[in-house]
Amino acid sequence: MQVKRAGILGIGASVPDKVLTNFDLEKMVDTSDEWIRTRTGIRERRIAGENESFSTFAIEASRLALEEAGISPSQLDLIICATVTPDRPLPSSSCYVQHILGAEKAAAFDLTAGCSGFIFALTVARQFIANGEYKHILIAGGEVLSRVTDWTDRATCVLFADGAGAVVLGEVEEPAGILATSIHNQGEYAEFLTIPAGGSELPTSQETVSKRLHFVKMMGNELFKAAIRYMSKVSEEVLLKASVKPEEVDIFIPHQANQRITNAVAERISVSREKIYSNIDRIGNTSSGSIPIALHELKEKGRLPKGTLILMSAFGAGVSWGSALVRM
């Protein structure tokens, strides 16, 4: 069987209009703009309105990605939505995206891998292109984390944000395309980042709600160390897989969790600071949305000409981590 090369045909993104600044947060919890900026790099983030949900942003981002790719929704074979905040627990949000877009022949499923969701989806999708099963695949990664954030917990509420990005994948000619991907998990660290209630282990009840167990609980310091360790390791792994040297990378797009994590990873993998793309100051941590939103911004700025070599790396709940090396 001849293996086909999967690549990115189109990119889109959508974030809410509403901006929540660090100064707004100062009025909500015991924090300061200075603390948030120096510890995380975040100045402001986007927060969804009352009538907006994951699919609101996923659909808008997907339309833009389809438009750039020149692909109609009816040509899509598969839709993967990477999210931990679907519109509802059931059915998958990808079904809403499929219906609203009018992608009648596309199979559709959601994929959950915390903040690494976009890289996991890219890894899955490229297999279907490579083996010739599917021609066009839409990935929409994003979150409405504001709905699972405890707005009385200063340790978490300053980090999270809402928004989505999308890419359309299809067959491309070498040297363009996805050169290498790698994904990993370490389930023993599941408690580092979790929403304890609302699943089959601890269904929602008045008690779980009054104990605020339906919100994200986080062990920030543990995540911080693990993110640096694993994002560095997996970035080196994909570079090695593709026989690419760090200095050949044009742009490094890390999951936007914390500017200090980003800087530490870039230093460890010997990618120079000016190659890092960071929008965490304006966008915050949108989990599975962060890498495709960054891709979209780069495209809009004209920074993704043909041939650009992009290294993407993510880390998140699970814990999960992954990396992808992509040439435009």
Residue 252 burial class via C-beta count within 10 angstroms: exposed 0-12, middle 13-18, buried 19 and up: buried
Q: How far is the CB of 301 from ligand ACO (least distance, A)?
A: 24
- Of the candidate residues 9, 71, 227, 253, the single one contacting ligand ACO (CB under 6 A): 227
Question: Which residue blocks in 87-131 are alpha helix, DSSP H?
Answer: 93-101, 117-130
Q: How far is the CB of 160 from ligand ACO (least distance, A)?
A: 7
Q: 3-state DSSP call for residue 200?
A: coil
Residue 189 makes contact with ligand ACO by CB under 6 A: no
Among 318, 220, 215, 219, which residue's Cα sits nearest to residue 260?
A: 220
Task: Determine whether 285 is an active site residue.
Answer: yes
Among 143, 137, 130, 204, which residue's Cα sits nearest to residue 174?
A: 130
Assigned token pair, 75: 């040509």
Task: Determine whether 115 is an active site residue.
Answer: yes
- Of the candidate residues 26, 35, 147, 236, the single one contacting ligand ACO (CB under 6 A): 35
- Of the candidate residues 100, 107, 155, 176, the single one contacting ligand ACO (CB under 6 A): 155
Among 13, 33, 35, 9, which residue's Cα sits nearest to residue 23?
A: 33
Q: 3-state DSSP call for residue 45?
A: strand
Q: Which is nearer to ligand ACO, 39 or 233 (CB)?
A: 39
Q: How far is the CB of 220 from ligand ACO (least distance, A)?
A: 3
**Per-residue x/- marks for ligand ACO, 266-305, CB under 6 A?**
-------------------x--------------------
Residue 224 makes contact with ligand ACO by CB under 6 A: yes
Q: How far is the CB of 23 from ligand ACO (least distance, A)?
A: 13
Q: Residue with structure tokens 């989806």?
A: 121
Among 315, 296, 304, which residue's Cα sits nearest to residue 15?
A: 296
Q: Which is nearer to ligand ACO, 39 or 303 (CB)?
A: 39
Q: How far is the CB of 261 from ligand ACO (least distance, A)?
A: 6
Pairing of β 19-21 and β 44-46: antiparallel
In one letter, which amino acid is 148? Answer: V
* Cα Rg, the chain, nearest whole Å: 19
Question: Which one of the listed residues 115, 157, 258, 279 is annotated catalytic?
Answer: 115
Which residues, numbered 8-27, are part of the site for ligand ACO (CB under 6 A)?
A: none
| Residues in contact with ligand ACO by the rule CB under 6 A | 31, 35-36, 39-40, 115, 154-155, 158-159, 193, 218, 220-221, 223-224, 227, 255, 257-258, 285, 315-316
Residues recognised as catalytic: 115, 255, 285
